[in-house]
Structure 1
């Protein structure tokens, strides 16, 4: 049979919990997404294609995906450094630094956007220092990347911390005793053990950045064809009562996000197979 159930467990209730799981996921995830896609196809394919392929819409796709990828990559690098510092070193104020990592989770995204805009504007604390160097952050794609990096770094840090805590220091000491330098120890001992967690953290940060709105809408400047993100464009379509256009753009972004996350998960699965084979 195509459907099989696991063997009886000491803890009963698999069928009941599985039923609740399917109902919950259907109500919260599957049915709303299905309704969104069905709303997109209430019009003709020609009209839908015209709405999702407008130059302004295509430009918003490029800005959103490119800035999300750059922000997730930055978070991957610096998130690893933060997670490594918190797990490997004991220092005064460690718990305070650890709490700061979760700050983007607690802050409303609109507050984050206003704060970042005030700091990185030309007359802001940091923006005034960058202005003489010819670097403008606020109201540019660089500002979008800063905002997406801000809201995405907790996903990388919190994903990597358990993996680094489980990594035994004895393995690193053994590698050093066998003549491996620091770079060789990192590449051959540390990186293979935490690579799946790094890919997961990258995927979570990237997915969070794709759908971000509140923190970006203030610092981006919302200039069409330059700094306008897809989330804002969807809101604009809704305000214009263009429900078909908003649904079509949202569906397109959903499919693109699904494909990109699928690729990331395939890379993670392949990396896990290679590591297990090694």
Structure 2
């Protein structure tokens, strides 16, 4: 799978009735597409994947696929309990998704051979390219990453752990065993902050939660990073991304809650987050507004 540029992870809007609003999602995706993302990752972490039922998951994926209409690859989240993961994979394929981002199974921790079987089952159910998400209970050694990469249909690895030494060894091992076409990307929350470190080990791609609410900032940062404009990278990092990460670290779940709050702040009513996440309080919302305004001012965009 050839992914390039900034990867867009939309939030999942919920209406006043508490259900996913596919109409608002369509607008959210349409607004993002205007800025040219390299891929749309729907019903994933920023999209509150763990909070969606299988039926809601299908509705969200189908709405995104219909709105994108082939203008960018659409990657659907799948994972969690075995039965749900297999069903989500099959329904995502039926909905027209171009691939899957496979989240780790939760609670049940088996041997790595069990993880291989889990991945094979999802790949078989979907018949789509699958990107694995390393985080939580999935922490791979290089040999284990190679074994997973050799499963037909597994095309990439998203890293949400942030162990650069481990990732450097995984990248070398997989590329030697499988080839240069295998896709790696940095999937840490607010990944721009660590993007230079990942680039140093040959991983240029990263997910951008910021793109969901401030694509102007996300694109400006990506351009500066790609063109070697260290001054702009440093300015955006110091005055926008670093303060955002500091705020994010204050409350568990803010990696999603702040993003959704910022989308609302910029004029699109995407509703609240679902439990166990919680919306930011007034003090943190004021801080978030200051950070977003500062970032937009740095790139010459309107708040």
- TM normalised by structure 1 equals 0.23
User: For the pair shown, which has the larger CA radius of gyration, 1 or 2?
Assistant: 1
Compare the two structures and name the one with the higher helix fraction. Answer: 1
